[in-house]
Amino acid sequence: MKKLLLLLCLALLVACNYATEEKKPIDKPQKKTTSDKVETDNFGIVIHGGAGTILKENMTDSMEIAYKEKLEEAIRVGHEILANGGTAIDAIQSTINILEDSPLFNAGKGAVFTNEGTNEMDAAIMDGETLNAGAVAGVTTVKNPINLAFQVMENSPHVLLSGNGAELFAKERELEIVEPSYFYTENRFQSLQKVKEAEKMKADTTDNRTAFYDPYIKESKFGTVGCVALDKNGNIAAGTSTGGMTNKKWNRIGDVPIIGAGTYANNATCAVSGTGWGEYFMRGVVAYDISAMMEYKKMSLEEAAKKVIQNKLTELGGEGGIVAIDNKGNIAMEFNSAGMYRAAMNKKGELTIGIYKENEKVEEENE
């Protein structure tokens, strides 16, 4: 009997010790923050200023110089930020601000006119590390729409804001607000008149695509601006800003603020910014399609961009192009139109600027 009681006491003692023993927590993988990452020396930046029928014979020497100088000015601003360890997101905003403040491009100051004679702008930005994104559509008084897109991403629970609500949010975030007249440029206004005249002449057309077709823009250029970048922390991002389509009606919104259509970034694959016939970029979900082909078909960035722009978009009937960068710093500047304003700059400071089908190596930055 004593042995039985002793065994029972020992069993109870063991059970109590097990129940009260502090269990070790299970280690869970922590998401790396920017500060946790090891900085590398690899980075790069690519920009575009629109694609379309841009032919050398239609371009004066002075205008060609003006476009190249502005492209170079913009990309060097972003490149300097990246070289100094800044983020891809910051580089993209500062670069696009330069293009938005120039009347040369269809974004910000140079935005085209709607059918009603107003300027309605769209923009988007996306962070490839978090897949967070912000976008705005139909804003009329925000000086730099890309900055508002960033605020939507960082300081709201939403991805896309439009119209009056977006402008109210811009005021709450204390962004620079301007009078609508700030966006007036004479050449854009005259472009509207030409489109309206062409519209009257084609009023009896039976082409079902006319609802998505701007004859003047298609025959000249799509002026959207965009930027993609890889920073030293290994993060990529994309941003795009536009005035949309000349003579657009009914508060038309294009592909730019539609995440996955005209703007997309994912650290696992690439960052993409598009320019072109927006309705087709939306139908083809062009920016995401390039990323998806890299992820699921294991294509390189160059292969995926070529497949989507030269085959899939073309077969749909769309025209335009993209700039893109992957997580290793490889770049793509693919377009199926006659030309695309574009520039790229790598970690070595090598700058490439192009307008027409060929590229031009400008110079290597002194280190």
Geometric angle at alpha carbon 96, from 231 and 228, rounded to 5°: 35
Structure tokens at 237: 């991002």
Considering the candidates 224, 240, 246, 269, report the single residue annotated as catalytic: 224
Contact 191, 156 (CB under 8 A): no
Contact 62, 203 (CB under 8 A): no
User: Which residues are paired to 125 by β-bridges?
Assistant: 134, 239
Euclidean distance between CA atoms 47 and 324, whole angstroms: 9
Structure tokens at 86: 């800044």
For residue 206, give every residue at least 6 positions away whose Cβ sits within 8 Å of its Cβ, in sequence order, or none: none
- Closest listed residue to residue 91, CA positions, set 51, 131, 125: 125
Q: CA of 325: how far to CAs of 1, 92, 131, 244, 246, in Å? A: 81, 13, 16, 24, 29
User: What is the edge-to-edge ordering of all strands in the sheet holding 331-335?
Assistant: 263-265, 270-276, 320-326, 331-335
Q: CA of 51: how far to CAs of 73, 208, 329, 344, 356, in Å? A: 19, 23, 23, 15, 9
Q: CA of 289: how far to CAs of 22, 60, 281, 304, in Å? A: 50, 36, 10, 8
CA atoms within 13 A on the CB side of 256: 36
- Closest listed residue to residue 83, CA positions, set 39, 22, 130, 23: 39
Q: What are phi and psi of 275, to 5 degrees?
A: -150, 130
Structure tokens at 159: 């991805």
Catalytic residue status for 314: no
- Residues involved in catalysis: 224
